[in-house]
Structure 1
Amino acid sequence: EKNVIDIRASNLQDLMEQAHGMEVDMDGNMRTLNLDNVDFNRIEKDWRTQFLTVITDPSVAYILMLIGIYGLILEFYNPGMGVPGVVGGISLLLGLYALQMLPISFVGLGLMLLGIALMVVEAFAPSFGIFGLGGAAAFVVGSIMLMDTDVPGYQIAMPLIAAVAVSTFVIMVFVLRMALQSRKAVVVSGAEGMVGSSAIATEDFTEEGHVRAWGEMWKATTDSPVQKGDRLRITSINGLKLTVTPEDQS
């Protein structure tokens, strides 16, 4: 209907038979195609071409870039793991190589990088979700805008972007929840963390003596008589001296 198709053929041989004798315009000169008894020479793709065909798929390039970025973030967050850094570096380079062969929007790419930067800031300096959720939103919008073309087949699959958006949101909620729990958690280290824990009397004493707490010897005071081996409860700390009471009285 739109005059963009000259022949509809079921196979290559059918195409040659229908095209035989057609007249075509070649640089202003009309030529007649002679396709009788044509020999076919099929050229197969080599491994390099097949590999490039796979990684230059927009969705595959997008996934490679995500693996690379999150792998490097994990390596920076836990130095010495090795595997995330190596896999992330290789994946990121492959993803960037594939993207430079595709019609991408640098605005979309910039939004994605901004979103990743904000999420990294949220991981290292929690802001109760402001940076994290803002980064997730920028990343999703950038993903939608990444391909700067309307040609079919050059768009990132929307289900993939939706899956990344949901997983990123879940991760941000988890990080935010962990940050809130850490602020509410009771101190379990240092002198404050010893209050309420147990100690063992290393000698008999009535007012002041020595106890073992947290693997160390401490001076301790008490209002009740204590015998060697009694389990005691630490009620307070004053400098380098503990105040204890027998556990059966605490």
Structure 2
Amino acid sequence: MIPRSSPSRPILLWLSLACLLAGALAAWQAPAQSPAARDTALVMTLDGAIGPATSDYFQRGLELAAERQARLVVVEMDTPGGLDAAMRDMITAMLASPVPVTFYVSPGGARAASAGTYLLYASHVAAMAPATHLGSATPVQIGGGGGLPGLGEPEAPSGEGEDADKRKAPEAERAPADDAAEAESSAAEPDKRRGETAMERKVLEDAVAYIRSLAERHGRNADWAEAAVREAVNLTAREALERGVIDVVAGDLDDLLTQIDGREVMMADGTLTLATADLALERFDPDWRTRLLEVITDPNVAYFLMIIGFYGLIFELSNPGSLVPGTIGVICLLLALFAFQVLPVNYAGLALILVGLGLIVGEALMPSFGILGIGGIVAFVIGSVMLMDADTLNISLPLIGGIALVAAGLMLWAMTRFLGLRRRPARTGQEELLGNEARALEDFQGEGHVRLHGERWNARSAAALRRGQAVRVVGIDGLTVEVEPLDAGT
């Protein structure tokens, strides 16, 4: 007799599975809702020039902090500056972040120069360690677009000539000013740096307005920020605190979190009071992706990748089917193009480099006794110098000189090889027969026959020849060779 299954057994089974599923979901969501997970401060490191890799790393860190509901993001910074586009992307992401961001210039001896000053002004809390400094925020135009320095007269924008005339007017014709205001602004106003060309003034005034807006947003010293942009002035950490440029001078991270506890900061949706006294520090250091981007976007590496890619393709086209040079060349060239996409490249310089390399290769394929080669080297060096010209993102001059010397050496070697080939006797065709040794097959003077290269040839000789005598070929007339005795004068 087979027992029947109880009707309540499937119901109990489904209820058990539902309970297990609910427990798993609760356990999965528990870490995200746990207070301990939110009571953390995400610490990042910004060391070196600011570029695309730095911007990508910083924005990923902000996204991670928002996902983990961190209370604070702390960026330990030591930078000489960097790209304006990357800096603005970082500032835009920081101002829109739901998590407050603190930029902390550390350790001792670090600096926040150029773009680092803008990041400090844009941060919700600006902090520095003792023995650090900031400033030198004057924008430097890179990528070429402004012409060569010293060429052309600067154009005065609308209203600039009138201001200049007013500044040149005698003191007696100027309106009297208040003594205090004169000490604060009027004395310095005529000395403000405004740029020598219209393009320089445009870039400078844009940078001034940008950093002043950041200073006003967070209640920091806007006048000094303008001076840092116009005159490239600098401040130590203690001076910056006294002038209201930064908020805190802290010896370490624990001191920083203690000092900013309870401070009100301006967020995108209003003010926020920081609670940082007991936050746990969680590190988010640059990973392999950031390191790879930093290597590729280094101007010297990108420049070298472009050279390898170009020569790899040339060798592949010269020897079809070799595969290895072509594969390496394509990979290197694509990596170089990616780097040039995010770097401030002067396309005139890039064009000169490609033309120079093409002329050098042309010298090897079509010898012009140095005309193409010398022109190619000159174009290559000038283009390399023009490619990227900046204090923090420039190409090493020894690298340019080394590659130019290698190219010149290859060109010189090719020229000497071609000259040597011109001196060598012919190896094929009728010309190859000239000077070869043959044997007379019979006694003759005038018309006869000789054995040459194992073949019977018609021969003509002005001298009398004996059978088996060694002769030399001195001329060719159709299928008849002209010979002379081997012991005759050359």
Please say which structure displays the higher CA radius of gyration: 2
Deviations 1:88-113 (A, max 9, x none): 11211111112212121112111112
Is the contact made by 1:21 and 1:32 (CA closer than 8 Å) also made in structure 2? no
Which residue pairs with 2:369 in the alignment?
Answer: 128
Q: Secondary structure at the match of 1:89?
A: helix
CA–CA distance in structure 2, aligned partners of residues 218 and 42 of structure 1:
90
Which residue pairs with 1:155 in the alignment?
Answer: 394
Which residue pairs with 1:176 in the alignment?
Answer: 415
Tell me which of 267, 278, 302 is aligned to 1:61.
302
Please tell me the residue identity of whatever aligns with 2:259: G
Q: Shift of the alpha carbon at 1:161?
A: 0.8
Alignment of 1:183-202 (within 5 A): 183=422, 186-201=425-440
Which residue pairs with 1:21 in the alignment?
Answer: 259
Aligned length: 244
Tell me which of 84, 88, 92 is aligned to 2:329.
88
Q: Secondary structure at the match of 2:399?
A: helix
The alpha-carbon distance between structure 1 residues 43 and 2, as it changes in their structure 2 partners (threshold 3 A), is closer
CA–CA distance in structure 2, aligned partners of residues 145 and 249 of structure 1:
65
Q: Secondary structure at the match of 1:210?
A: strand
Q: Shift of the alpha carbon at 1:68?
A: 0.6
CA–CA distance in structure 2, aligned partners of residues 2 and 78 of structure 1:
52
Which residue pairs with 1:139 in the alignment?
Answer: 380
Q: Secondary structure at the match of 1:100?
A: helix
CA–CA distance in structure 2, aligned partners of residues 127 and 36 of structure 1:
76
C-alpha RMSD of the superposition: 3.3
Which residue pairs with 2:484 in the alignment?
Answer: 245
Tell me which of 322, 331, 356 is aligned to 1:115.
356
The alpha-carbon distance between structure 1 residues 54 and 246, as it changes in their structure 2 partners (threshold 3 A), is same
Alignment of 1:5-20 (within 5 A): 6-8=127-129, 14-20=252-258
The alpha-carbon distance between structure 1 residues 164 and 238, as it changes in their structure 2 partners (threshold 3 A), is same
Q: Secondary structure at the match of 2:385?
A: helix
CA–CA distance in structure 1, aligned partners of residues 479 and 366 of structure 2:
34
Which residue pairs with 2:449 in the alignment?
Answer: 209
Gaps of 5+ in 1: none
Question: Structure 2 length normalisation: TM-score?
Answer: 0.44
Q: Shift of the alpha carbon at 1:188?
A: 4.7
Q: Shift of the alpha carbon at 1:151?
A: 4.8
The alpha-carbon distance between structure 1 residues 200 and 42, as it changes in their structure 2 partners (threshold 3 A), is farther
CA–CA distance in structure 2, aligned partners of residues 174 and 74 of structure 1:
16
Which residue pairs with 1:227 in the alignment?
Answer: 467
After the TM superposition, list the runs of 4 or more consecutive aligned residues in structure 1 that deviate by more than 6 angstroms. none
The alpha-carbon distance between structure 1 residues 156 and 227, as it changes in their structure 2 partners (threshold 3 A), is same
Greater length-normalized contact order (CA 8 Å, ≥ 6 residues apart)? 2
> Which deviates more from structure 2 when the two are superposed, residues 129-138 or residues 171-180?
171-180
> Which deviates more from structure 2 when the two are superposed, residues 72-81 or residues 160-169?
72-81
Which residue pairs with 2:316 in the alignment?
Answer: 75
Q: Shift of the alpha carbon at 1:182?
A: 4.6
Q: Shift of the alpha carbon at 1:31?
A: 5.8
The alpha-carbon distance between structure 1 residues 2 and 110, as it changes in their structure 2 partners (threshold 3 A), is closer
Deviations 1:5-59 (A, max 9, x none): 842279x992232342234642597766543332232235444433322222111
Q: Secondary structure at the match of 2:475?
A: strand
